[in-house]
Amino acid sequence: MLEIDIASKVYQTAAGPPLLAIRGLRFAIAEGEFACLVGPSGCGKTTCLRILLGLERDYDGRIALPGGDPRIGVAFQEPRLLPWRTVEENVRLAQPVALRERPLDDLFARLGLAGFKHFYPGELSLGLARRAALARAFAVEPRLLLLDEPFVSLDEATASDLRALLVDVWQARPTTALMVTHNLREAVQLADRIFVLSARPGRVLGEYPVMIERGRRSPDAVRAISVDLATRFPGLA
């Protein structure tokens, strides 16, 4: 399983005292589980992902990744596509050499990109660019999937469509997944378990299992669970 035990993460600031971003952040995610981190801005959610990705190495604690040194798929808040490469070229670029000859037709079809693989990023809407970013994350055949608010700034209709696509692809290619989001309904729609973080310095206040099967998470059910979640953790909404 994925195990996180971060005793502390401190940022040195250019002026002023050091900033303690995380203190005592501990949780674990079972293999094949989809978990979400929610909490106030600045509580260390993205910092946690950066530590998992090896982008932040100066911290006190330990992490145990599934499989020891897994292949990680990641989607950031921005699509981060190279503008001089097509959608397919952007996706292929992230793949290990051994995977670059494998067909992507099924993945592109599931994400609604079948007719856009030869388009350049500048020719895509933001929603399509986000789909391409998801395709890139899954195309590496990850053992661990990390998602940092991949649907932020999209209108709700587009974001809802992309969440459904994400679930469809993830269920077809199950992997351990950890997603950061500020959107409670998004977390309820996607996650098996939701970890609620405190204000900075971030720590886990508690966890909330979403017991309803994904196929039964209607808008009314998602709304009711979100209200219950916000009631159990006052101030979260």
161 CB burial (10 A radius; 0-12, 13-18, 19+):
middle
| Residue 39 domain flag | yes
| Residue 62 domain flag | yes
Asked whether residue 151 falls in the same domain as residue 202, the answer is yes
pLDDT at 210: 96
Q: φ and ψ at 19, to 5 degrees?
A: -105, 115
pLDDT at 131 over 70: yes
pLDDT tens figures, 17-36: 899 999 999 999 999 999 99
List of E strands, the chain: 2-11, 19-29, 34-38, 60-64, 72-75, 144-148, 176-180, 193-197, 204-209
Percent of the chain with pLDDT over 70: 100
Rg (CA), the chain: 18
| pLDDT band for position 15 (cuts 50, 70, 90) | confident
Total domains, the chain: 2
- Pairing type for strands 34-38 and 193-197 reads parallel
pLDDT at 1: 86
pLDDT at 3 over 90: yes
Asked whether residue 62 falls in the same domain as residue 107, the answer is no
pLDDT at 173 over 90: no
Q: φ and ψ at 17, to 5 degrees?
A: -75, 160
pLDDT tens figures, 43-75: 999 999 999 999 999 999 999 998 877 899 999
| Residue 35 domain flag | yes
Is the pTM higher than 0.85?
yes
- Containing structural domain, residue 159: 2-70+143-232
Domain end (from 142, 162, 193): 142
| Residue 75 domain flag | no
**What does the block give as tokens for 128?**
């399509």
Asked whether residue 221 falls in the same domain as residue 160, the answer is yes
pLDDT at 236 over 80: no
Q: Say which CATH number the domain at 227 has.
A: 3.40.50.300
Asked whether residue 7 falls in the same domain as residue 61, the answer is yes
CB 29 within 8 A of CB 37: no
Name residue 208's amino acid: Y
Q: Average model confidence (pLDDT) for the chain?
A: 93
